[in-house]
Amino acid sequence: MYKFYQKREVLFAVSWIVLYCVVSIPIRGLLGDGSPLMMIALLAIALGLTVFIKKHHLEEKYGLHRWPRPTARNLWFLPLAVLATGNLWGGVQLTCTGQSLFFSVLSMLLIGYTEEVIFRGLLFKGMIKEDGLTRAILVSAVTFGIGHIVNLLAGQASLATVMQVFFAIAWGFLFTLVFYKSKSLLPCALTHGIVNCLSLFSRGSAAADWVYIAAVILAALLYCPYLLRQAEEGEPS
């Protein structure tokens, strides 16, 4: 596997994306996020990624070695902290309870971690090496967003899916630029997990959903150019 990774880093990343989709989509469509099987499947993928990264000492390359330093620069991530609460802007309401809620929360956190490692870690870093920074940012963000079309296969309504695609593309740009700027994937994985988890407590107001989507897209349009201008010269380590 490591030889494959060394020779075809982008294809290696795509292989993990395919594996993630093939494993998670059928389970999510049939059993939902609150299924123990969903949590176990996601945990297996997350552990597989983590073991591979640690075994080959790639933690620094993929931003899993430490929280961004110095601490004062964490102010860069305040917009993400505000946007992470967006699922609650329309009110709070439990979408599930008990054991289902427990497994759903774990699954949402695992999805946040796994998707960040795959899209912002493996794919983004691989593409910087082969195709340059600009294309790496675009592909990482857009592929992440378009990938949410697969929710149609999990039974999600088409209008909701279109909304989610644009929403996810905007988040993709935010996460990618934060990773590029800070060289740490931890703020992205944490924010992604929180966004997912808070969706379990959302009242689901259509008006609030549209406001949230608009806020994330606007933030991406304004904040990403700022981050890009502030980034240090050269590629992230």
> Which of 179, 207, 212, 201 minimizes the C-alpha distance to 77?
179
pLDDT digits (tens, 9 = 90+) for 141-176: 998 887 666 555 555 556 666 777 888 899 999 999
Q: Count Cα neighbours of 92 within 13 Å in the Cβ-side half-sphere.
A: 3
d(CA 6, CA 206): 46
Map tokens 């059993």 to a residue. 31
User: Which pLDDT value is given to residue 68?
Assistant: 79
pLDDT (average), residues 21-34: 89
CA angle 58, 15, 43 (to 5 degrees): 65
Helix, coil or strand: residue 202: strand
User: Which pLDDT value is given to residue 112?
Assistant: 95
Sign of CA dihedral 39, 201, 197, 17: positive
Q: Is the pLDDT of residue 233 over 50?
A: no
- Find residue 92's DSSP bridge partners: 202
pLDDT digits (tens, 9 = 90+) for 46-94: 999 999 999 999 999 999 988 877 666 666 678 888 999 999 999 998 8
d(CA 68, CA 48): 24
